Structure formats: C-alpha cells, structure tokens
Amino acid sequence: MYYDELSPAFERFVEALDTKKVAVIGHARPDGDCIGSQVALSRVLRGQGFDTICVNQDPVPGKLRFLCGEEPFVRPELWKPGGHVSVCVDCADADRPGPLLKKRFPEVHANVDHHVSNRLFARQNFIDSSSAATAEILSGMFFDNDYPIDKIAAQALYVGIATDTGQFRFPATSQRVFEICGRLLHLGADPAVASNHLYERETMGKMRLLDAYLSSLKLECDGRVCVGVLPKDIFEKTGAEAGETEGLVDYARSIHGVDIGVIIEDRGNEIKGSLRAKDGRYRVNDLAALFNGGGHTCAAGFTVHMTMEVFYPKFLAALREQFRVVDAANYEGKDDGGRSGV
C-alpha cells in the first residue's frame, strides 16, 4: 500500500458516486502535474465506467498537449455542467481553478492535492503533503485499488511527477516516487519522449527572456536570496509568452550560498512573484502568504496589488524576518530539516 488511509477512502468515494458524470477540474495556468493528473484521473475513472471531462480556465500549454491524447479538455465559458460531480486536482484552495469555475462548481465533491497549504475545501479531501506531486498520490491510489492505468495515463502521471520533482531533484523525491515511476514505465510511460517534449523545444523568445532575467539578478540578505525582476514590457521585447517564465527562478536559486531564489514580474500596479528554496525549513509558503499567496515549503507564489516601490522594501523585510525565525529555530535544534512536507 502506498496510501494506507487515502486509498480505501478514495475507493469508497468512487463507489458511492450516485452519478456517472465527473468533471475533473485543474487550476488556472496549469502545469505538468495539473494536466498530467487531470488526464490520468479522467482516463482511469472512464475505465471504471464514468463519463468524464477535463475542465480548465486556461488552455493546456502547448508543451503539455502531447500528454492529452484524445482526452477532452473544455473551457468553462464554452461548456456547462450537466449534473457533473466535481473533482479538483492540484488545487490548494477553492480559488485556484479560477473565478468562473468556482462559480460553476460552488460545491466541490473531492479534492486530490499535495500542497501543505491545502484548505480542505471539498466535501472529501485526499491530501498528502509528503507527496511530491498530485500525480504521485493519484498513481498510488490507482495502484492500491488495482485500477487499470493505460499507456496515456501512465505517461501523464509520470510527467506530473517528473515536473513537480524538478526532474527528480527536489527534497520530496522519495523512494516511493521512484517505485511508482518504475511501475509507470512498466505500463508504457516513456521518459525520453517526455523530456523531448518538455525540455528540447524551447523558443528563441524564451532564450531572450532568460537573458533578461539573468542580467537582472541581484543578491540580497547577505547573499542568501537572489532576486531577478522582469519589467512590464518584457514579453513584447523578447517575443516570449507569459508561461515561458516557468523555470527561470531555478537559476537564481542555483547559485552557491543562495537559500531562496526569486522571480518578480513587475506589472506596474501588480507584482507577481515566485519563490524557490533549497530547503523546506525556509517555508516560502509562509512568505508568499504575507503577499496574498501560498504553495509549498520549497516552492510558492503570490500576486499582490502594489507598485514595485511599495512592494520591494516590504518583501526584503519579510525575508529578513523569515531568516531570523528560521535561524533561531535551527540554533535551538527545533527544525525538522524541512521534512514536514514539501
């Protein structure tokens, strides 16, 4: 058994469903774990006799379309639920699917997620914050319950896990992750095909964006934080798309001595930020929460209505306070080494 408590509860949930129609809902600006989880859950439930559909506020990013097979993805403005049961994946709170979907599905029946900040907003919540990906939880529950996983679902689950572990590098990359991925490969998941689609198809716009981001990098907090800022007109200048900021922040974090990498998009009256820590004990989700955001202990984000002039000093003060608290806890030997959920 991978999930002693979640798997039997999930089977009871599936067996108790009184309708056969299920909408599998992902979050806004979907990533590999979100799309992978939706594709797999939709296919596996279909295999159990359900009529399923995937619903997202935003389109499936081009890089992830190879995962979808024939899986129907719809946008809420073009589709109305007809008595569908709603299941959210990879959503930490009820707002993550976006305003329109929140209105369409005021009551969410089930919620499968691995965010430590999950608000348990559904009727039934299948949450494990020790898991590296929602796709890991789904894989484990499918295996535990002997639900058949076809080749497309296996690839989708593999990609969800591979992307959310930073290609098997982040702290939540456990023995269970490798065991589950081994079984997914046995079922037809193909790491080479996946990485070709994900990492060998960059655009020139993305490279120019990377160039601009790297040029802006600056060390703060005695070299423990590295911040890069993208100005408002960067997308017109580089020809990059908004989604291509994904992964840039990893370069800031990768510097020797840096504990937290930061990317900030300065949108004039709005600041969008992403934080990536090398260690879970920095709890960047708590930092993001100060600015209206959330996430994992190692990876978090926020969007806040402020100008850069107002935001930046507040942000630096919050970082300094976080280091003060974390360093004091370490000194007293109270830290858990970041093992409590990434």
Residues engaged in binding Mn ion (CB under 5 A): 33, 90, 134, 164
Q: What is the distance between the alpha carbons of residues 105 and 122, in angstroms, rounded to a whole number?
A: 11
User: Minimum distance from CB of 45 to Mn ion (Å)?
Assistant: 19
Nearer to Mn ion, 133 or 262 (CB): 133
Measured at the CA of 305, the angle between CA 96 and CA 247, to 5 degrees, comes to 55
In the chain, which ranges are E strands? 21-25, 51-55, 73-74, 85-89, 110-113, 124-127, 218-220, 225-230, 260-266, 271-277, 294-295, 299-304
CA-wise closest residue to 176 among 142, 136, 146, 126: 136
72, 56 Cβ separation under 8 angstroms: no
- Which residues, at least 6 apart from 192, have a Cβ–Cβ distance to it below 8 Å? none
Nearer to Mn ion, 180 or 258 (CB): 180
Nearer to Mn ion, 34 or 212 (CB): 34
Closest residue to bound Mn ion by CB: 33
Nearer to Mn ion, 93 or 164 (CB): 164
Nearer to Mn ion, 32 or 228 (CB): 32
What is the bridge-based pairing of β-strands 85-89 and 21-25? parallel
User: Minimum distance from CB of 33 to Mn ion (Å)?
Assistant: 3
Nearer to Mn ion, 133 or 225 (CB): 133
209, 243 Cβ separation under 8 angstroms: no
253, 219 Cβ separation under 8 angstroms: no
Residue position matching structure tokens 């790491």:
191
